[in-house]
Amino acid sequence: MKRINKKYLIYGTALIALSGIVFLFVYFKGGEPEYVFSTTKVERASISNTITATGTLEATNTVVVGTQVSGVIQKLYVDFNSAVKKGQLIAELDKSTLQSSLENAEADVEKAEANFEYQKSLLARNKVLYEKELLAKSEYDLILFNYKTSKAEVKSAKANFSRAERNLSYASIYSPIDGVVLNRAVEEGQTVAASMSTPELFTITNDLSTMEVEANIDEADIGQLEVGQRVEFTVDAFSERTFKGNVTEIRLQPNESSNVITYTAIITVSNPDLKLKPGMTASIIIYIEEANDVLVVKEKATSFTPDPQLLNDYMSRYSEKEGKPQTARAGKDGDRKPAFGPGAKPEMDDTHKLVWVKEGALIRPVVIEVGIDDGSNMAVISGLEEGATIVTSFELADNSELTKKDNSEGDQKSPFVQESPQRGGGPSGPPR
């Protein structure tokens, strides 16, 4: 018989002992599932929904000043950026031709009045003869006709005189508003011709301390826009500064460009330091709805529903360890939220959501009232307190059974309906 090496015997005995220890650890620990929760806190924050757009800065009132008569620019009294007052003389045309026309019109009036006086006296003399039947009716009718014609000629001559006088006054160009000259389109000595279209002399805008942004709003967003909504925007010239304004007008006329429909919204903005200039491009954020310093919860917490079987198993182990019945409370004493028990499911609408609150090892469903939803967070109107822990996922530590519920699934049965016997009732490991 071969002799067994003592060293190998010691190594073998140690290996068998180690294997036994590992087996016992795995055997006893394997039946104690460990649960993993992902949670989020209810916090205070500001939440809002916005739409973005681009637009162009314009003065609230811009007037193009022209002339109604033709002539040569004799004198300019203002230049670019000149401040002007309403009624201020800003330019004059050469008046010599217009003055001559006025004098001719005045002479025509005097001539017409003289003829009228003659025809009037002639009619008076011949009327006596006609009444005594010393004048033929045909001659009297001609005299009467000449009288009426002369009377009409006086009116026509006076009208021509008024027109010539008015045209002469048009040779003096006055500012129609208080404001600033943005553009001067003529020079002294230049001839302007008033024909079908009025020639442009100046462009005058009113006080630039208040301006407007003409924003192009996409047709998909125009239904959310309302007068009075708050606006923030930036311009390239001052990219680090945010300017503020309000929506003051929503125009109904659609604008089409490359088969894209937009609508114009007017945003009024204060510009006391005159940093903003007409024509600047604005990048705009319009606040459709907003709430400041409110409780918010992550939107994913409102879409979480625990796996029924896993939740039943967890609650069973938790209740056995704590010596408590397997129940879940819908709210604390005095909670305004409705309670619901096994076999029941609360009815929800757009203003109410179901979340799972974690208090120590216990998780419980709570119906909350929600407000603004920005796609990531929801404002909490009632049902939760600041700092509350909300479950967003629930699974086994070894990932053998996930409890994240796909949002696309249909109705979910209550996690507290006992449809199958509970799994083994061995001691449970502490939840994390």
For 126-150, write each residue's pLDDT tens digit.
999 999 989 999 999 999 999 999 9
The verdict on residue 16 lying in a domain is no
The Cα 171–Cα 74 span in angstroms is 9
The verdict on residue 145 lying in a domain is yes
The verdict on residue 360 lying in a domain is yes
The Cα 380–Cα 383 span in angstroms is 7
pLDDT at residue number 42: 95
Task: Collapse the DSSP code of 341 into the 3-class scheme (helix H, G, I; strand E, B; otherwise coil) and give the result.
Answer: coil
Closest alpha carbon to 60 in 190, 188, 214, 168: 214
Tokens of 196: 């079908």
Do 303 and 360 belong together in one domain? yes
Question: Which residues does 266 contact at the CB level (< 8 Å), separation at least 6?
Answer: 212, 213, 214, 215, 247, 248, 249, 250, 251
φ/ψ of 263, rounded to 5, equals: -125, 150
Task: Please report the DSSP string for 408-430 in residue order.
Answer: T------TT---SPPP--PPPPP
Tokens of 257: 């460009």
The structural domain count of the chain equals 2
Do 314 and 390 belong together in one domain? yes
Do 329 and 386 belong together in one domain? yes
The Cα 129–Cα 139 span in angstroms is 11
Do 308 and 387 belong together in one domain? yes
pLDDT at residue number 407: 37
The verdict on residue 302 lying in a domain is yes
Closest alpha carbon to 208 in 284, 265, 279: 279
CB of 356 closer than 8 Å to CB of 390: yes
The verdict on residue 132 lying in a domain is yes
User: In Å, what is the CA distance from 75 to each residue of 85, 92, 104?
Assistant: 18, 5, 25
Tokens of 212: 């407007």
For 92-126, write each residue's pLDDT tens digit.
999 999 999 999 999 999 999 999 999 999 999 99
Q: What's the chain's average pLDDT?
A: 82
What percentage of residues in the chain have a pLDDT greater than 90? 66
Domain final position from 121, 146, 170? 170
Domain final position from 170, 189, 209? 170
Closest alpha carbon to 109 in 165, 70, 182: 165
Task: Give me the helix-helix angle, 137-170 and 96-131, nearest 10°.
Answer: 160
pLDDT higher than threshold 70 for residue 374: yes
Task: Collapse the DSSP code of 327 into the 3-class scheme (helix H, G, I; strand E, B; otherwise coil) and give the result.
Answer: coil
Tokens of 33: 């599932």
pLDDT at residue number 320: 63
Give long-range contacts, CB 8 A cutoff, 24+ apart: 426-430.
426/31, 426/32, 427/32, 427/320, 427/321, 428/32, 428/33, 428/317, 428/318, 428/320, 428/321, 429/32, 429/33, 429/34, 430/361
- Res. 431 pLDDT band, cuts 50 70 90: very low
Do 305 and 387 belong together in one domain? yes
The Cα 323–Cα 416 span in angstroms is 18
pLDDT higher than threshold 80 for residue 229: yes
pLDDT higher than threshold 60 for residue 85: yes
pLDDT higher than threshold 60 for residue 83: yes
The Cα 318–Cα 324 span in angstroms is 8
Lowest-confidence pick of 39-53, 318-332, 403-417:
403-417
* CATH code of residue 121: 1.10.287.470
Closest alpha carbon to 319 in 363, 353, 258: 363
Do 298 and 389 belong together in one domain? yes
φ/ψ of 34, rounded to 5, equals: -110, 130
The verdict on residue 222 lying in a domain is no
Q: What is the mean pLDDT of residues 271-288?
A: 95
Task: Collapse the DSSP code of 366 into the 3-class scheme (helix H, G, I; strand E, B; otherwise coil) and give the result.
Answer: strand
Count the neighbouring beta carbons within 10 Å of the beta carbon of residue 270. 13
pLDDT at residue number 242: 96
The verdict on residue 62 lying in a domain is no
Do 42 and 133 belong together in one domain? no
Domain final position from 137, 170, 203? 170
- Res. 29 pLDDT band, cuts 50 70 90: very low
Q: What is the mean pLDDT of residues 226-236?
A: 96
Do 43 and 99 belong together in one domain? no
The Cα 58–Cα 249 span in angstroms is 14
Do 99 and 164 belong together in one domain? yes
Do 134 and 41 belong together in one domain? no
Q: Which residue has the higher pLDDT, 319 or 70?
A: 70
The Cα 226–Cα 246 span in angstroms is 10
Q: What is the mean pLDDT of residues 6-14?
A: 53
pLDDT higher than threshold 70 for residue 426: no
pLDDT at residue number 415: 40
The verdict on residue 209 lying in a domain is no
- Res. 346 pLDDT band, cuts 50 70 90: low
In terms of residue numbers, what domain contains 122?
95-170
